Structure 1
Amino acid sequence: MTPEDVAEVLERPAARELLSGALARLAYVARDGTPRVVPIGFLWTGTAVVMCTSTNAPKVRSLAADPHAALTIDTSESPPKILLLRGTVDLETVDGIPDEYLAMNDSSLVAPDQRAAWEAEVRSLYKQMVRITLVPAWAKLIDFETTLPSAVEELVRRRDAGA
């Protein structure tokens, strides 16, 4: 998939809506070789998905050993909207709290009257965090209106061809 193909998928209205969300599922290969999927907050910068975590999180060690990752951002309504992303991640240890972490936990997640206390608690807990950045190298949007999972698309083609 070319960067232009990825950009075209990410510019679709449904993709932009999903990228404005708060929670994704990050998939990676653990150090023992088995797959892992974890929910994680994220921020879309317009070119990359940024996630933040503690320096001692198991995913940090795993992603340092194998930076290949996949991300799913979806809805629970029917029909669901699903954005699938793949790429390699960049890990950066940051002193204090990354700006992206504060931005992804905005007033829609932390009530304005609780923001100061929440931020003080976060700053007391994390002396450092790891910024995980994924620039999508592959993207697929499934909205069940204009796009379908590839296996379903194949079944539709077979049916329409009379096979």
Structure 2
Amino acid sequence: METTGPVRRPTAERARDALARLTTGRDVWVSTAHPDHGPHQVPLWFLWDGRAVWLCTSATSATVRNVRTEPRVRLALPDTFDVVLLQGEAECFPAQEVPRDAADAFADKFGWDPRADEGTYLYLRVTPETVRAWRGEPELRGRVIMRDGTWLDQQEP
């Protein structure tokens, strides 16, 4: 019996699949870097609001320290077969300054409201500039599905 590998999806389908994973996903790997201390990677819960990814972490975390020095971040959904990588700049919001709709949606999704917790938390909003998505080697070519903050939905050649 002969098996076939993954079928190469058009850009529009990859974008739809990536958006579905962003909408339903729970965890994302967050990669930051500091010019003196190098790279740092940590898994965090995330919320996709349709335009940006919202994260929340301790205000004293290495992630926050790095973002304050170098706001460029990379996010990776945790599946090595169905890769979705987002790249953008993170903005910091103290819990008392985060937009209410984002904080409420985050609390609803996870059953935890950092605004009510005793710790000091910071929300990070990452608006993607670039998104890459691929399933296996056949999709490496054309893996960019968002460029300069705009989803690419034209048909591939």
Could you state the TM-score of these two structures normalised by the residue count of structure 1?
A: 0.65
Distance 1:49 1:9 in 2: 20
* Aligned residue number for residue 125 of structure 1: 118
**Bigger Rg, structure 1 or 2:** 1
- Structure 2 counterparts to residues 99-118 of structure 1, below 5 A: 99-106=104-111
> In structure 2, which of residues 65, 68, 74 is the aligned counterpart of residue 70 of structure 1?
74
Pairing of 1:138-157 with structure 2 (within 5 A): 138-144=130-136, 147-148=139-140
Q: Is the 8 A contact 2:31 2:75 kept in 1?
A: yes
Match of 1:22 among 22, 26, 46: 26
**Residues 34 and 141 of structure 1: is their aligned pair in 2 closer, same or farther, counting only changes over 3 Å?**
same
Supply the RMSD in Å over aligned alpha carbons: 3.1
Higher relative strand content: 2
Contact 1:9 1:139 in 2 (8 A): no
User: What is the rounded CA distance, in whole Å, between the counterparts of 1:10 and 1:29 in structure 2?
Assistant: 32
| Deviation at residue 59 of structure 1 after TM alignment | 1.2
Unaligned runs of 5+ in 1: 1-7, 107-117, 151-163
2:17 is paired with a residue whose SS is: helix
TM-score, scaled to structure 2: 0.68
